[in-house]
Structure 1
Amino acid sequence: MKAADAMAGLTQLHDAQRVVFDAAALLGHEKVSILDALGRVLSEDLTAERDNPPWDNSAMDGFAVRWQDIKQEQAIQKPVTLSVIEDVPAGRMPSKTVGFGQAIRIMTGAPIPQGADTVLKVEDTEHTPDSVRVFKAEPKGANIRPQGEDVKKGDRIIAKGARIRPGEVGMLAILAKSFVCVYQQPRVAIISTGDELADLDERFSEEKIINSNSYGMAAAVREAGGIPLLLGIARDTPMALKEKISQGLNADMLVLSGGVSMGDYDFTKAVFRELGAEMNFWKLAIRPGQPLAFGKIQGKLAFGLPGNPV
């Protein structure tokens, strides 16, 4: 039989993906702290309640000046000397206005004082506590971070549906959001099937193989943002399989590996039907991985994966 003939009538991968996405519903919301939000999916739009920076501020340690006093042609011909009238460190607002022939010593992050429109880098000057000599003129507006450069009041900063990464956590802090609303994490019940399996903490003989699938799937679930629930191994009897699957229906999703082929001890299809499953497909047009089932059991998403982890 040709490979193309063997795949005829099977569900195509992209069709299967669409079926799964259409069947999945959003879970509810919960409020979590800013650090607990890492890796979660935002369930609300976040807007800025104020500009950031909230005022024009210095991007350099240096001197806030009027560009008119230090413009290029003057500085080339002769250094300009300005009177220093105040020191403004970061975290303090300036109390004076820069006038003709004046400068204010300013630190990175400090608000730009009234009257100033340019910041000179400290390394381009020669200064004393009371004066500063300017050897290199800057363009007008140089070394100033304008108000609202990062965030403007009223703007949507992080959209609903975004996954929270470290950068978003930093932005949540900028927005002063100590708690945010996120979608609940799906609880995913994981079952492996087969009398040939032994779990990690069991004594096993040479006839057994280790139940690696459950742990690989649990890691995949956790990486994707879900909460894995390891229900252990279902032995190769319809009763044992039904019992495990019934336990798994307390979760939001059920993932079962093994027992979905056509062998004498592959009971998954029969047990799914007995539990009222509405299955969308049993096989995909892919190899390896052809015996892959998906549907709903009592309203819960249910996946049947082949036992071969490849």
Structure 2
Amino acid sequence: MAQLSADADAFGPMLTIEQAAERAAEHITAVAGSETVPLAAADGRVLAADIVAPVDLPPFANSAVDGYAVRFADLAAAGETRLLLSGRVAAGADAADVTTENRAVRVFTGAPMPAGADTVFMQEDVGLDAGAVILPAGLKRGANARPAGEDLPRGDTALAAGRRLRPQDLALLAALGLTKVAVRRRVRVAIFSTGDELNEPGTALPPAGIYDANRSLLRALVTHAGAEVVDLGILKDERESLVRRLREAAADCDLILTSGGVSTGEEDHVKAAVERAGELAFWRVAIKPGRPVAMGLVAGTPFIGLPGNPVAVFVTFAFVARTVIALLSGTQPVRLPGLPVRLGFAYKKKAGRREYVRVSLAPGPDGIAVARKHPRDGAGVLTSLTETDGLVELSDELTSVAEGTIAPFLAYEMLTG
């Protein structure tokens, strides 16, 4: 089970994003258990053990181009070299009996290098003359030839345990001849929304009712993070019921993730329910949109309570919950650097908190993209997410930025992968 300090004061009244991540890293333990899956089902999974290359990659020396393979020692020290042709080797063919001494061999991309040959001339660089080739001077030894193990020598670590597999990783494993791989089991994440005003999409709305968008958002975000979703639905604002459901979720899942009810209002019961069912570590992070983000333990199971507004859910998931899921999955969270963009707006903010501004990008005259702020920036405005490309990050110490300032931009794809 994960362990987290019960002393909320040790975390301070307001944590930076980095401090929140550090606290999680100190006290959250990766889930136990692994399984072996075929490569076709391994995308997004976390490696349970190092992969050591069982063969050289490539497994034999081969030509990188269509051309003519020769022994470098047979080339003239200066000027052109004329060599008779001796055979033809295509990709997949056997080159064992092809003569190379003082000869040139016609080869094609991927063809095995004939014994003794170590250099390949590209076909467009040579001349042909009655069964011979005329080779220009100046080519270096080993040019256009790929030695065995050039990409990865046998016995070297191809991929390390804890890596979240990507399509290019699967290609590498396939090139090594592997058909299956040991991966950690998926983290089970219980999600639910809270609020008496919430209703399931597809049902009739009562007066003052709204449809629950947050669970659809969280289901997708959790899945993109490589975890398994356990959807517990909508829970009403009733403290005893919340305490019971939190304890039930803790017994079955590795992480409990909620939205709503973590602020200080009289009807915000989730924070109090967590304190009843377990222990609360912190509940405020210096981030906007967001801030009321609760984290703690329920019967040893990590709990994260996100705000109720959907934009705040998106942002706080990206910078807090995604980190926790990565740690529970046995991998390290990836924090890619923002891409530099030029602000097409001026902005004022409070010092002491990180702010994320929803923007759309447009080409700039000097090659640097221009970020245009969405006209509606409320934390409940879902179209401010669907009509923009990503977030501009404004650091904690800033109080204002002028139009034309260069700032880091984080595309939504960077925050949900």
Aligning the two structures, in what range does the TM-score lie when normalised by the shorter sequence? 0.7 to 0.9
Q: What aligned pairs does 1:1-310 form with structure 2 within 5 A after superposition?
A: 10-13=13-16, 14-27=18-31, 28-71=33-76, 73-75=78-80, 80=82, 82-127=83-128, 131-137=131-137, 138-249=139-250, 250-275=252-277, 277-309=278-310, 310=312
Contact 1:238 1:267 in 2 (8 A): yes
SS in 2 for 1:133: strand
What's the CA shift for 1:180? 1.1
Letter in 2 for 1:26: A
Q: Deviations over 1:251-296 (max 9, x none)?
A: 1111122222233322223432432x02212333445433322111
Q: Over aligned residue pairs, what C-alpha RMSD do you find?
A: 2.3
With over 3 angstroms needed to count, the CA separation of the structure-2 counterparts of 1:117 and 1:243, relative to structure 1, is same
Measured in 2, the distance between the counterparts of 1:232 and 1:240 equals: 13
Contact 1:186 1:226 in 2 (8 A): yes
Measured in 1, the distance between the counterparts of 2:59 and 2:166 equals: 24
Letter in 1 for 2:176: L
Letter in 2 for 1:17: A
Measured in 1, the distance between the counterparts of 2:116 and 2:272 equals: 82
Q: What TM-score comes out, normalization by structure 1 length?
A: 0.87
Measured in 2, the distance between the counterparts of 1:188 and 1:279 equals: 18
- Farther-moved stretch of structure 1 (29-38 vs 12-21): 12-21
Contact 1:98 1:116 in 2 (8 A): no
Gaps (5+ residues) in structure 1?
A: 1-7
What's the CA shift for 1:211? 0.9
Contact 2:247 2:299 in 1 (8 A): no
Gaps (5+ residues) in structure 2?
A: 1-10, 313-417
Measured in 2, the distance between the counterparts of 1:127 and 1:257 equals: 73
Measured in 1, the distance between the counterparts of 2:48 and 2:172 equals: 16
What's the CA shift for 1:306? 2.1
Higher Cα radius of gyration: 1
The share of aligned pairs that are identical, in percent, is: 37
Measured in 1, the distance between the counterparts of 2:135 and 2:181 equals: 50
Letter in 2 for 1:258: G
Measured in 1, the distance between the counterparts of 2:59 and 2:288 equals: 58
How many matched pairs? 297
Letter in 2 for 1:136: P
Question: Using CA pairs below 8 Å that are at least 6 residues apart, which structure has the higher relative contact order?
Answer: 1
Measured in 1, the distance between the counterparts of 2:70 and 2:248 equals: 72
Contact 1:52 1:147 in 2 (8 A): yes
With over 3 angstroms needed to count, the CA separation of the structure-2 counterparts of 1:48 and 1:287, relative to structure 1, is closer
SS in 1 for 2:246: helix
Q: What TM-score comes out, normalization by structure 2 length?
A: 0.66
What's the CA shift for 1:112? 1.2
Measured in 2, the distance between the counterparts of 1:285 and 1:108 equals: 56
Contact 2:84 2:133 in 1 (8 A): no
Letter in 2 for 1:36: A
With over 3 angstroms needed to count, the CA separation of the structure-2 counterparts of 1:278 and 1:61, relative to structure 1, is same
Letter in 2 for 1:47: V
